[in-house]
């Protein structure tokens, strides 16, 4: 039967029309009022059941979680907070729900409990809102790049390369488990794997994207990425989605401009297109803040935070300046946090990043020109740096509450310098022959960045844990669904 989405019913301009709606029961009060949700909006539509003319057997089956179809008149609602309701003339139970056993009763659940029920948690208001915002953001990502003429490139999921050189790869085997080729000592013989080649799940599509940028000019990837992060943080997943634009003839400054413009565009798009969901998440967050001691409460509401990012230029600060700031800020006295940074050359920990963003600059920060030693092999070496203090044209974008949201760089376009760098790091030139070809045939300045999509969703929804912004999170000991 033809039915109308709850969102369209609530936005209707006509009353007293015959309508049909389908969805799931959120609550059923006084044997008369059903709050019906179909996922199209955060709002439920109230359905008023003519209980005198509805058989007892049907009333009994209207339980939380049940799938139902209602037909009746759309009329103005007398109740507060809603414009319309349905005066139900016909009610059909499409699928029963055992209310006794249904774990998503409309009361507040802990996020831990909801994670264990990842297949059902989307039936709560909060997760419905998060997943709609995620979907809109994902659309905005494509819209931004497509409008600018970027070509969407699907880089391989199974690959032989480790772009980051961090060794956080999941090995891929093409053979059945019990047929895995072994060495004489009984170890897995990876050289024999995947039809004779060692492969892994991609940690980044960058190297492949670079080869495409050097022909198509401006490209982007947006796909799943895998990292064997055997740690439990609220910012890391073993499977996450990454957006990676790569642009020929762009240097580091162009790269920063692109990243800032892109982030602002997609956040603005969500603010404009997810008003109801963000309002709901904002209220939820405000309730959470109230539980905290006064001193730890966030001064800004969710929408104020998003607008703050939209209205202000990201602070651009070199790594060297940042280290000086961190050294100066290191408290001598006893303090809750230690911002101590040992020496120039050390990698920043997320507490350092968050200090710079939240306490010092009070703004998103783009840190650039990192020490070469702590960054990947493919980054452009800065000219004229002191021996021992070499820096590369890298940038990280740091966000409040998140830390690193983007990592990017201008790439080393000079074949000889790149080969030299690979040699010092022990990276096999033969294995990356295809990557080096981009420097052999028409090399040019180019740059790009990677943005972890879930970190963006985390920021926009105001959630605190990355596990709560992806439908089925993959973390250590968590791959059940
Ligand atoms: P981090 O320092 O947080 O571990 P990274 O420097 O290892 O991140 P990059 O290799 O620079 O990450 O990847 C680019 C972006 O991908 C990061 O800025 C971040 O937004 C995202 N990202 C990286 N690792 C993860 C992960 N395990 N889960 C979710 N997002 C991630
Ligand atoms: Mg990492
Ligand atoms: Mg990092
Ligand atoms: Mg990084």
Domain containing 446 equals 125-166+203-468
Regarding whether 142 and 26 lie in a shared domain, the answer is: no
Q: CATH number, domain at 329?
A: 3.30.930.10
Regarding whether 71 and 139 lie in a shared domain, the answer is: no
**Final residue before a domain boundary, out of 53, 75, 95:** 95
Regarding whether 137 and 13 lie in a shared domain, the answer is: no
24 closest CA partner among 68, 62, 54: 68
Residue 197 lies in a domain: no
pLDDT tens column, 61-116: 999 999 999 999 999 988 777 889 999 999 999 999 998 888 887 678 899 999 99
Regarding whether 135 and 45 lie in a shared domain, the answer is: no
From 170, 244, 375, 404, mutation site for ligand 1 pocket: most ligand atoms within 8 A of C-beta = 404
Residue 119 lies in a domain: no
Residue found under tokens 């495409």: 212
pLDDT tens column, 11-54: 998 887 899 999 999 999 998 999 999 999 999 999 999 988 89
CA distance 282 to 284: 5
- Average pLDDT over the chain reads 91
Residue 193 lies in a domain: no
Regarding whether 441 and 324 lie in a shared domain, the answer is: yes
Going from the Cα of 324 to the center of ligand 3, the distance in angstroms, rounded, reads: 19
pLDDT at 337: 46
Regarding whether 156 and 26 lie in a shared domain, the answer is: no
Q: CATH number, domain at 71?
A: 2.40.50.140
CA atoms within 13 A on the CB side of 149: 4
State how many domains the chain has.
2
Find the DSSP H helices in 296-361: 302-311, 319-329, 350-354
Residue 181 lies in a domain: no
Regarding whether 160 and 87 lie in a shared domain, the answer is: no
The residue whose CA has the least distance to atom 25 of ligand 1 is 236
Ligand 1: does its nearest atom lie under 6 Å from the Cβ of 439?
no
Residue 355 lies in a domain: yes
The residue whose CA has the least distance to atom 19 of ligand 1 is 452
Regarding whether 77 and 147 lie in a shared domain, the answer is: no
The lowest-confidence range among 173-177, 265-269, 292-296, 461-465 is 173-177
Ligand 1: does its nearest atom lie under 6 Å from the Cβ of 408?
no
Regarding whether 144 and 76 lie in a shared domain, the answer is: no
pLDDT tens column, 145-186: 999 999 999 999 999 877 777 778 998 877 766 777 788 888
Residue 414 lies in a domain: yes
Atom of ligand 1 nearest to the CA of 166: 7
Q: Does the model's ipTM exceed the 0.90 cut?
A: yes
**Final residue before a domain boundary, out of 45, 79, 95:** 95
Q: What is the 3-state secondary structure (H, E, C) of 385-430?
A: CCCCCCEEEEEEEEECCCEEEEEEEEECCCHHHHHHHHHHHCCCCC
pLDDT at 336: 44
CA distances to 168, 186, 310 from 469, rounded to whole Å, are 22, 41, 22
Residue 173 lies in a domain: no
Regarding whether 220 and 139 lie in a shared domain, the answer is: yes
- What's phi and psi for 76, nearest 5 deg? -65, 140
Regarding whether 239 and 337 lie in a shared domain, the answer is: yes
Ligand 1: does its nearest atom lie under 6 Å from the Cβ of 364?
no
Going from the Cα of 409 to the center of ligand 4, the distance in angstroms, rounded, reads: 10
Regarding whether 76 and 136 lie in a shared domain, the answer is: no
Residue 171 lies in a domain: no
């Amino acid at each position: 039967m033809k039915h109308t989405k709850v969102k369209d019913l609530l936005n209707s301009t006509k009353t007293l029309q015959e309508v049909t709606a389908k969805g799931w029961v959120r609550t059923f009060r006084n044997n008369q009022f059903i709050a019906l949700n179909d996922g199209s909006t955060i709002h439920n539509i109230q359905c008023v059941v003519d209980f005198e003319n509805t058989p007892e057997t049907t009333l009994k089956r209207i339980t939380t979680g049940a799938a139902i179809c209602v037909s009746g008149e759309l009329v103005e609602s007398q109740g507060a907070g809603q414009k319309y309701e349905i005066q139900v003339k016909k009610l059909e139970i499409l699928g029963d729900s055992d209310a006794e056993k249904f774990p998503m009763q409309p009361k507040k659940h802990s996020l831990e409990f909801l994670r264990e029920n990842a297949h059902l948690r989307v039936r709560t208001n909060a997760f419905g809102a998060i997943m709609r915002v995620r979907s809109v953001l994902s659309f905005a990502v494509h819209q931004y790049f497509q409008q600018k003429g970027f070509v969407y490139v699907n880089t391989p999921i199974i690959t032989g390369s480790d772009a980051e050189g961090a060794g956080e790869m999941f090995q891929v085997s093409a053979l059945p488990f019990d047929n895995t080729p072994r060495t004489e000592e009984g170890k897995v013989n990876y050289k024999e794997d995947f039809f004779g080649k060692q492969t892994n799940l991609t940690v980044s599509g960058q190297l492949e994207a670079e080869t495409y940028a050097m022909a198509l000019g401006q490209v982007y990837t947006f796909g799943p990425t895998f990292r064997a992060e055997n740690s439990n943080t609220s910012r890391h997943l073993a499977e996450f989605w990454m957006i990676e634009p790569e642009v020929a003839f762009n240097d580091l400054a162009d790269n920063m401009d692109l990243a800032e413009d892109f982030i602002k565009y997609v956040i603005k798009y969500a603010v404009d297109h997810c008003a109801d969901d963000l309002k709901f998440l904002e209220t939820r967050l405000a309730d959470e803040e109230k539980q905290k001691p006064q001193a730890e409460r966030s001064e800004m509401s969710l929408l104020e935070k998003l607008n703050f990012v939209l209205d202000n230029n990201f602070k651009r600060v070199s790594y060297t300046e940042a280290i000086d700031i961190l050294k100066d800020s290191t408290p001598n006295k006893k303090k809750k946090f230690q911002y101590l940074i040992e020496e120039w050359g050390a990698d920043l920990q997320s507490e350092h990043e968050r200090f710079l963003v939240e306490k010092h600059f009070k703004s998103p920060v783009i840190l650039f020109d990192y020490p070469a030693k702590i960054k990947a092999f493919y980054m452009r070496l800065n000219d004229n740096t002191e021996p021992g203090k070499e820096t590369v044209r890298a940038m990280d974008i740091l966000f409040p509450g998140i830390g690193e949201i983007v990592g990017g760089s201008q790439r080393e376009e000079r074949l000889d310098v790149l080969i030299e760098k690979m040699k010092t790091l022990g990276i096999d030139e033969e294995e990356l022959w295809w990557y080096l070809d981009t420097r052999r045939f028409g090399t040019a300045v180019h740059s790009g960045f990677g943005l972890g999509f879930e970190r963006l969703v985390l920021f926009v929804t105001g959630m605190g844990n990355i596990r709560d912004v992806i439908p089925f999170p993959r973390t250590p000991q968590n791959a059940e669904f």
